[in-house]
Structure 1
């Protein structure tokens, strides 16, 4: 059952969860794509669809482009799938070029962005992207130029909607000043472990605020402007759902135990508890699940049926932070 998401107001009937496709294509290496990688992708996509997930998140750099290429092969073999799913990708990160001594950097220049979108579409084998995000803030970003690129991509039919990733309210506001198109997404690392997005609000007028790097006002700005908050790293890399905790803090171990207890009480998966905690927040957060394991995809999808009380939500939050609220 779909809950109300900001994306719905913009015309994108997206699922509550997104399948992140970084794990497609055989990983971060230059090895060629094999039949097993395509089979694996088919199984992951099928598991997502059967679980009610219709949105898929990519980036041009994932597995050095192989993730999009493998997904494109899935679409080629099942062409009817394209019109029933929402495809999102990101651009702007350029890897280091050791031959000429250039480090990893970010690039929102007009020529690079246009070239990147053409590359994304080619690898996916599609004519348009539903959503295109700027992956990480480019220190040399010319907001007016980005706005011109977005307009050109929209006019050409190559991109339907635009958004950002890892950006603050101020950065989004600057971009929006020069963009005709409404920015509809901000994708951030937020989870039961990565709680700076909550601490920023809790620590107003508190000394502890000095140690929090989450940009103040970003959560509120996205809600005010009806910008969809997407959570990457939403499962905290399995920290509370089965990962070895031998070298982890007492807070992590206690929180993992609470997640396990709640999962047993509610007869659901640990992944579902972790994701339901995010989805309980009134900002209508849309978690991205970065797994290609069909059974884990199904376990994550159970989150849509989980109801956490206010007390349960706060118990998990306070346990994660490791100290009482001020």
Structure 2
């Protein structure tokens, strides 16, 4: 497994394990087996959120990893979504959420805290106060965001003394608006519409690591593109490259993400041990420029 430097600070595996679905496993033993499999493949980064499993994902993870030295893991969690009610970046909510997450995880600190989806009622001064308290108390080492555009990040960064080091975005070969807009500059078409404030380029300039969530989905939770009849050309090419590199088509889909020079970290949400092991082989592959663009166009994209 290759590692990346997150904001030149953390040595992290370029593939991370997302823990949203681990409550679907049969108890802590199966969760531990999944974590052990991931770590055996070189994964040292584990992604959580306070809302995953209504908090149960953090709890079962905390129970399952007992005995694993804390320093061997990078643990990230998120807060800010109050399901069905509102987004909440208030100082009170952030502090309360972190305390609850730490209790469930059975940890003294998390390595990274992300703010989960933008809160338009955010008062950045309050967020900055919360971050200062969490850092001073040793409860959070680093901070970042999820699903934010460049100016939202810039606004928050203006008030925070801590550098925002991560932005977690939905990203895959079939869902890559941040690529489309950059390739269709000065072209009057839908692909050229800049919806995210040139967030890809912004993050590269600011040394912010982009984390790709749902790397096998297209649209917004519309479905998986691998094996989908909606993407026949893409699947044909994925299969051809999988045969060439002696890996699975899912590994090729991840290799497409890892090939980008932005140093994007891919987050896997699978709870199947064999699938995790197979996909991690993507770290050993570097697609050619021609293969990368061929997959992009096979997903239905056009170069101007």
Give the equivalent residue in structure 2 for 1:132: 113
Unaligned ranges ≥5, structure 2: none
Distance 2:132 2:58 in 1: 24
Q: TM-score, normalised by structure 2?
A: 0.94
1:94 alignment partner in structure 2 = 82
CA deviation map 1:290-319 (0-9, x unaligned): 011000110110001112111000000011
- Three-state SS of the structure 1 residue aligned to 2:35 is helix
Kindly tell me the number of residue pairs found equivalent between the two proteins. 300
Aligned-residue offset at 1:3: 4.4
After the TM superposition, which segments of 4 or more aligned residues of structure 1 sit over 2 Å from their partners?
1-7, 209-214, 235-241
Partner SS state of residue 207, structure 1: coil
CA distance in 1, matches of 2:188, 2:197: 14
Question: Following TM superposition, by how much is the alpha carbon of 1:54 offset from its aligned partner in structure 2, in angstroms?
Answer: 0.3
> Does the residue aligned with 1:259 lie in a helix, a strand or coil?
helix
Counterpart position of 1:172: 153
| Residues 22 and 67 in structure 1, CA contact (< 8 A), matched pair in contact too | yes
CA contact (8 A) 2:4 2:13 kept: no
Q: Is the CA contact (8 Å cut-off) linking 1:239 and 1:256 kept in structure 2?
A: no
CA contact (8 A) 1:24 1:37 kept: no
Gaps of 5+ in 1: 28-35, 97-103
The 8 Å contact of residues 272 and 303 in structure 1, kept in 2 or not, is answered as yes
8 Å Cα contact 2:3-2:12 kept in structure 1: no
The equivalent of 1:60 in structure 2 is 50
How many angstroms does 1:216 deviate by? Answer: 2.9
Correspondent of 2:70 among 76, 79, 82: 82
Kept in 1, the 8 Å contact 2:12–2:45? The answer is yes
Alignment partners' CA distance in 1, 2:232 and 2:41? 30
1:210 is displaced (CA, Å) by 7.1
What residue in structure 1 maps to residue 122 of structure 2?
141
Contact kept? 2:78, 2:113, Cα under 8 Å: yes
Which position in structure 1 is the counterpart of 2:17? 19
Shift, 1:211, TM fit: 7.3
Q: 1:272 to 1:308 in 2, by over 3 A?
A: same
